[in-house]
Amino acid sequence: MRAFQCTRVVAVMLGIAACGDTPTGPVTPTEVTLKLCGDAPAWVAFQDGDGAWTEVKGVLTGTAHTYTFSMTSPIGGVAVVDTLTCSVVNWVVYGTAAELAQLYSGEQCGSGHKTITGSLAGGIAGLYSMVTLGGGWDPVYGESGSFTLEEVAPGPQDLIAARGSNFGHDRVIIRRGLDLPNDAVIPLLDFNSAEAIALDSATVSIDQPPNDVTSYVTSSIETANRGWAPGSISTAKTTSWYRGLPASAMIPGDVHRISVSTLGRYVDTYVGSIANLTVSLGPVAATPTVTTLSSATPVRMRMTTPVQATYAKVATAGFQAGTRPRWIVNLAMTEGYRGNTDSWILDVPDFGSTSGYDASWGIPAGTLRSWSSQVYDWNFYAKFVPTPGLTRRRAGVSSTSAAASAMPSLSEPGSRQIGRPAAVGAPEIQALCSL
């Protein structure tokens, strides 16, 4: 029983100047509203320009914890601290006022979310099938079983069930435009029925320097009515394959995402009907310089990374310390905040004089054990509509300690977005506790 998380635009934008513009008259402030659901964070603050960090108190409105503040500068930052059962996580985003206003909409907090149940048959013994609808998902093990979809968003959406096979999934069932009441029971999903669709396959040629390494290729199905399902997973050095819907089963707005990863480099390619593809990975990520700004508790680090033309939209930095409990600091910066400088400079903020911040939430002295860096060719704080023909690239490096040489990251998931989810619930806690 799981629920996807997502972020969308929320704010009243009033007369924002673009980064680097010089106002010619009175500055109209930007009012930013953050809506966070789940348990309330321990602390929220913002930075207007390069001014002092200011704590923001939340107000519970319905099921959302709402934080509102005004910015007069075109750039700034937002910080959120979550204290979890096994970890303390500091989330910091540096961006333009417009981007910060898009961080958290509280969509997952809204009224009308539902729990839907059902059962499945025709699976494969020893393997998992996946059922998804409106953000809720649940795996079903074996040939048959029941499922529960929690936090299903309201409105017409596509249900997709995907049957597990030895290479990802081989059949899917799509029921389009469902808007079921809470506690509805879905009629049986049977992969042996005429409703099931056999997935087609096509080849992927990987264009990369001849370094004789293995690439991982995955595909997923994203339908016009916000349906999602995994497709296939394969490995290869130069040529592989992927699975997707046959053209006869698609409607306008359906797309496939084909993801290729090789030693810290990642590329997502979006296509409509599946076809043989050639994909090109971007260059290896530049190795950042990691320095210490303060070695006392809470430890403050700086990551400086040269800007690469291929990955000029967003950069992230992550620092981890301890085991249980674990301290995590995740930083992100957008191109709009960076401006025309030739380096990404990501600093762990100095929250020492900010009201409400507890020094024990930061990294304790002498405990830092690893860092990671990611750079992107797209801004994941901007609204994204999957469209055939689009390609997105990113790359990353990491180390086992702050002083170690950077090593390529092999564990980065396919579409990571650094930034505190709109809701921190069981899936996020489990993921952070397992790091």
Helix (H) / strand (E) element for 278: namely strand 277-280
CA pair distance 302, 288, nearest whole angstrom:
10
Helix (H) / strand (E) element for 335: namely helix 335-338
Taking 80 as the threshold, does the pLDDT of residue 123 lie above it? yes
Taking 50 as the threshold, does the pLDDT of residue 305 lie above it? yes
Query: Residue 56: its pLDDT value, please?
Result: 97
Domains parsed from the chain with CATH numbers: 2-76+94-109 (no CATH), 114-197 (2.60.40), 200-280 (2.60.40.2190), 289-433 (no CATH)
Provide the CA 383 distance to its chain's centre, in angstroms. Answer: 13
Question: Which candidate, 135, 107, 103, 137, places its Cα nearest to that of 120?
Answer: 137
User: How do residues 189-220 score in pLDDT, each as one tens digit?
Assistant: 999 999 999 999 999 999 876 566 888 999 99
Query: Residue 411: its pLDDT value, please?
Result: 30
Q: Which residues contact 199 (CB under 8 A, 6 or more apart)?
A: 169, 170, 171, 172, 231, 232, 243, 244, 245, 246
Taking 50 as the threshold, does the pLDDT of residue 402 lie above it? no
Question: Which candidate, 373, 345, 304, 287, places its Cα nearest to that of 94?
Answer: 345
Ranking 133-147, 305-319, 420-434 by mean pLDDT, the lowest is 420-434
CA pair distance 51, 48, nearest whole angstrom:
6
Average pLDDT over residues 21-29: 55
Taking 90 as the threshold, does the pLDDT of residue 112 lie above it? no
pTM of the complete model: 0.84
More confident residue, 166 or 69: 69
Locus of tokens 């916000």: 226
Taking 90 as the threshold, does the pLDDT of residue 107 lie above it? no
Residue 122 is classified by DSSP as: S
User: How do residues 226-262 score in pLDDT, each as one tens digit?
Assistant: 899 999 999 888 899 999 999 999 999 999 999 999 8
Taking 60 as the threshold, does the pLDDT of residue 292 lie above it? yes
Average pLDDT over residues 412-423: 42
Query: Residue 435: its pLDDT value, please?
Result: 54
Evaluate whether 233 touches 357 at the Cβ level (below 8 Å).
Answer: no
Q: Locate the DSSP E strands across 166-248.
A: 168-178, 185-190, 197-198, 200-207, 215-222, 228-236, 239-244
CA pair distance 293, 281, nearest whole angstrom:
34
Query: Residue 431: its pLDDT value, please?
Result: 53
